[in-house]
Amino acid sequence: MIPTLKTRSATPSASLASSNVSDILKRLYANRGVRDAADIDLALKNLHPPQTLRGIGDAAALLADAIEGEARVMVIGDFDADGATSVALAVSVLRQLGLKEVSYLVPNRFEFGYGLSPEIVALAANSEPDLIVTVDNGISSHAGVMTAQGFGMSVLITDHHLPGDDLPQADVIVNPNQPGCQFPSKALAGVGVMFYVLTALRAELRNRGWFEETGREPPNLADSLDLVALGTVADVVPLDRNNRILVAAGLARIRAGRARPGIDALLEVAGRDGKSLSSTDLGFVLGPRLNAAGRLDDMSVGIECLLADSGAAARPLAAKLHELNRERRDIESDMQEEAESQLQSLALDAESMPYGLCVYQPSFHQGVVGIVASRLRERYHRPTIVFADAGSGELKGSGRSIDGVHIRDVLDAVAASHPGLIEKFGGHAMAAGLTLAADRLQEFDEAFDRAVAGALRGIPPEATLETDGQLGPNDLDLQTAELLQAAGPWGQHFPEPLFEGVFQVLDQRLLKEKHLKLQLDHKGRRLEGIAFNVDLDHWPDPSAGHVGLVYQLDINEYRGERRLQLMIKHLWKP
C-alpha cells in the first residue's frame, strides 16, 4: 500500500527554543511532543520514584521475607526478549541480594502456551518452591494463581500487560496498568517493572539492616540496566521519558564496554561494535536473536546466555541463538510468501480489503506468526492476525495492529459479542495473542473484521508516513548523523528522525538481487543510499533521473571508515 506523506511541523516551545541544543534537535524534539527542555535530561536521577507503583512495598517485603527466611523462589517468565531479560534480571539480582535458592521456569510455547497456567504451576511444584514470582506475565492468570496457592505457594505477580475486569487473587500484584496504580508511566516493559521491584527490595533490606548483618555489599542496580534497555526496546513499548532514561543508561553501559558477557557475545555473533550501538540495534539486532530461542526452541538458551558469568560460557549460547535466528528468518520468509499469495489470490484492493485481516495455513509455524503478522500489517496497513495449528483442533494466533485500533479491546469486543468463540486472549494496544477452535476460524474472521470496522467507525485506514520534512545540503553530512545518533534513544512513540527530499540519480544497482544501492546528488553534494527489499517490478529503473526519498541518516562503517549513508524507507519517481 502506497503511503501518504505527512510532515511533522510542531513549533518549539519557549523552553525548548531557549535551550542550548542545536536548531535541528529543537525541531525534532518539538515534533515528538517535548515541551519542557528539562525533559531532554535523561539522567537516572530523573526516573519516577517507585513509591507510587501500587503493591511495590508489599512486594519488597514479601521478597525480603523470602531472603531472610531462605525460602525457595521460582521466577516464571515469558518466552520473548522482555520475558528473558526480566528473568535474567530477577534471578541475577536476587542471587546478589543473598537468596540462596532461586530458580526459573519459562513455559515452552508449544507445550504450555503463555503465562502462569495451571499446567506450568504443576510443573513448577516438582521443585517445591515457597514463592512464585512472575515476570512479564500473570495479570490474567486466575486459574494458575489458584493452582499455586492450592500447592501452598505464595504468588507475586509482576507484569505490565493490561488486566481484565478482575485481577487474580495473588498475594501481591505490581503492574502500572492495574486499577488504582498512580505510577505516572504506564509504558514500563516487564523488565522495567522488575527493575523497580528490585530497587524497592534493596531499600527494604537496607531498612532491615540486612546488609550490615550479613556483611554483603548492596548491589549496584545500574549494572543491570543493559538488560533493562534490551528488554524495553525489544518489547516495543512506548519510549516515554521514563523509559528513555532507562534505555539511555543501559546503552551508555554497553557503549562503555560494561555490558554483561551474554550481551557482548550476542554483539560478537551479530558482528556489531558495542561502542556505537543504538537503540535500533537493540530492537533489530539483539532482540531477534534472543527471541529466536523462544520462537523455535527453548528460551532457557537465551536466559542462560544473559546469566553467563564469562565470555567463554556465553559465546556458544550466543552462537546457538544466532543459528536459531537464521532458521527463523528462513521460516518467516516462506510463511510471508504463502500469506501474501493467499491475500493476493483474493484480488483485494484498497476498497475491497477487509478492515481486519486473518491469515492461516496448516504449515505455519507457531513461533513465527507474530513476526509475519507484523510484516503483513506493515504492507497492507490493516490490523492482522496470523494463525498456526496448535494441535488438538486448536489454532493459536498472534495479532499486530495499527495506530487507532487497540487490538486487545477489539478481541474483547469479539469475545463479548460472540461468547465462547475465543478460548483465551491477552495483549495490549498494538499486539495480542489468542486461541480458538480451528472449526470456528471463519466465524472469527468475520467477527474480527466487524469489530475492527467498528473501532475505525467504518472509515478504511489510510497508510501514512510521517517525516520531519527536508534537510538542507549543509545538514546532509556525517556530523548531523552522529548528532542524531547521540540524541536518542529513539523508538516506539519517539520515532527515529525521518526526512524526505528529491535527489538526482547518478547510479543504481542491485545488491544480493533484492537491495537497491543508489549514488545520488543533492545540490552538488554526492551521497550514497540503500533501500532494502525493493519491489523488483519497479526497481532498478534506468529511466529514473530523479527519485523521491523518505530516509534516515545512517552511518556506514567499513574497514574503520565512517561514511554517511541514506537508509531509504520509501522511494518513488517524482
Using a pLDDT cut of 70, give the percent of the chain over it: 98
pLDDT value for 558? 77
- DSSP 8-state code for residue 38: G
Instruction: Say if residue 420's pLDDT is above 80.
Output: yes
Residue from 363, 359, 364 nearest 344 by CA: 359
User: In this structure, are strands 464-467 and 4-7 parallel, antiparallel, or unpaired?
Assistant: parallel
- Give the DSSP letter of residue 493: T
- What CATH class does 51-321 carry? alpha beta
Class in CATH terms, 346-455: alpha beta
Average pLDDT, the chain: 93
Task: Give the chain's length.
Answer: 574
Is the pLDDT at 350 greater than 60, yes or no?
no
Q: What is the pLDDT of residues 99-152, one digit of tens each?
A: 999 999 998 776 776 789 999 999 999 999 999 999 999 998 999 999 999 999
- In the CATH scheme, what architecture does the domain 466-572 have? Beta Barrel (2.40)
How far is the CA of 25 from the CAs of 17, 20, 301, 477, in angstroms?
A: 10, 10, 41, 15
Strands 384-391 and 357-360: parallel
Q: CA 197, CA 490: separation in Å to the nearest integer? A: 26
pLDDT tens across 448-463, in order? 999 999 999 988 888 8
pLDDT in tens, 15-45: 999 999 999 999 999 999 999 999 999 999 9
- The separation between CA 154 and the C-alpha centre of its own chain, rounded to angstroms, equals 30
pLDDT of amino acid 515: 94
User: CB–CB of 194/90 below 8 Å?
Assistant: yes
Please report, in angstroms and rounded to a whole number, the separation of the first and last CA atoms in the chain.
17
Burial of 542 (0-12, 13-18, 19+ CB in 10 A): exposed
551 forms beta bridges with: 499, 568
pLDDT-derived band at 221 (thresholds 50, 70, 90) equals very high
Q: Distance between CA atoms of 251 and 242, rounded to whole angstroms?
A: 14
**pLDDT-based confidence at 236, cuts 50/70/90?**
confident
The pLDDT value given to residue 535 = 87
Residue 428's pLDDT band (cuts 50, 70, 90)? confident
The β-bridge relationship of strands 431-437 and 422-427 is antiparallel
The candidate with the shortest Cα–Cα distance to 534, out of 570, 505, 567, 498, is 570
pLDDT for 294 equals 86
Phi-psi category of residue 99: left, alpha or beta, with phi > 0 → left and psi -120 to 50 → alpha: beta
Q: Are 91 and 307 in contact (CB under 8 A)?
A: yes
Per-residue pLDDT of 195-208, as tens digits, reads 999 999 999 999 99
Going by the DSSP 8-state scheme, the letter that residue 284 receives in this structure is: I
Domain boundaries, the chain: 51-321, 346-455, 466-572
Whether 532 shows a pLDDT value over 80: the answer reads yes
pLDDT for position 407 = 94
Asked if pLDDT for residue 411 goes beyond 90, the answer is yes
Q: Which helix (H) or strand (E) holds 527?
A: strand 525-531
Task: Read off the pLDDT of residues 295-349 as tens digits, 9 standing for 90 and up.
Answer: 888 899 999 999 999 999 999 999 999 999 999 999 999 999 999 888 877 656 5
Amino acid at 165: D
Cross-strand bridge partners of residue 431: 400
Alpha carbons 399 and 384: distance in angstroms, whole number: 5
pLDDT at 203: 97
The model's pLDDT over 358-372, given as tens digits with 9 standing for 90+, comes to 999 999 999 899 999
What's the whole-number mean pLDDT along residues 223-243? Answer: 95
